[in-house]
Structure 1
Amino acid sequence: MDTREAARRWARTWAEAWPTKDLEAIAALQTEDGDHWASLFRPYRGRSGLRAYLEECFAEETRPAEVWFAEPQVDGDAAAVEYWAVIHIKDQPVTISGCTVLRFDEAGLVAEARDYSHVKDGQHAPPAGLFRTDPAAQS
């Protein structure tokens, strides 16, 4: 398993699937029993848990998200991927700046994801030069 390629696939899939709310594409990246920690106080267990989390989040979004992902930082079977997103809740823009720490299994699926993020009201552009805007360029 090539961790860098697995992390790039993860980022590319999120970049393509988040705006279209394709929760199945995102859930397919995770092992059946992997944990997604959207909050360190409450893990979402397995693919079914990740689907429930995504359904909850996507239900709040009233317009397609704009998302950017940075090049993954890799160490062994783990990677950290920074992201930036502008979503709309009740048609009001909200900007999310975050980083997801991923651990992959031998098949390149996410065994554990820990997401750290900050949210600010309004639409704020990502820092210049940090993020790619073309998901295809993230391969």
Structure 2
Amino acid sequence: MLKVTIHNDIELPAIAREYAKAFLSWKNGGPLPLEFGNEGQWEDSGRLRDSYVFKIHIHLPGEKQWPAKLPQAGRKSNSYLVYSRHFLYPDKYQIISIMTPNAHELARTSYMAEIERRAEDFQASF
């Protein structure tokens, strides 16, 4: 059974709780939430890949949604939902950050060390 937790240091905790529920439903085979866009990893960071860190482009509540027929790969934004999947327990996930605003710019700063720290906290928690 899939389990999704939220890191204690999460930004925007109310939104994180809402999106964690949507994430769980989606990963359990439900439809892609309208707020979720393109999903991927940071290809230029071996440490983040090794920690099973992923990002999903998101729209925040109140923002204009993507067109309904736009494929997931075409849904891009400047906000990310960042999560980690546990390397030993692939049914365990943790939402570790909501990077907004300016996620693309944040991804080129020392903030990524904080993302690594949160992911390692999660990986070491079992």
What TM-score bracket applies, with the shorter chain setting the length?
A: 0.3 to 0.5
Give the structure-1-normalised TM-score.
0.36
Give the structure-2-normalised TM-score.
0.38
Q: Which of the pair is proportionally richer in strand?
A: 1
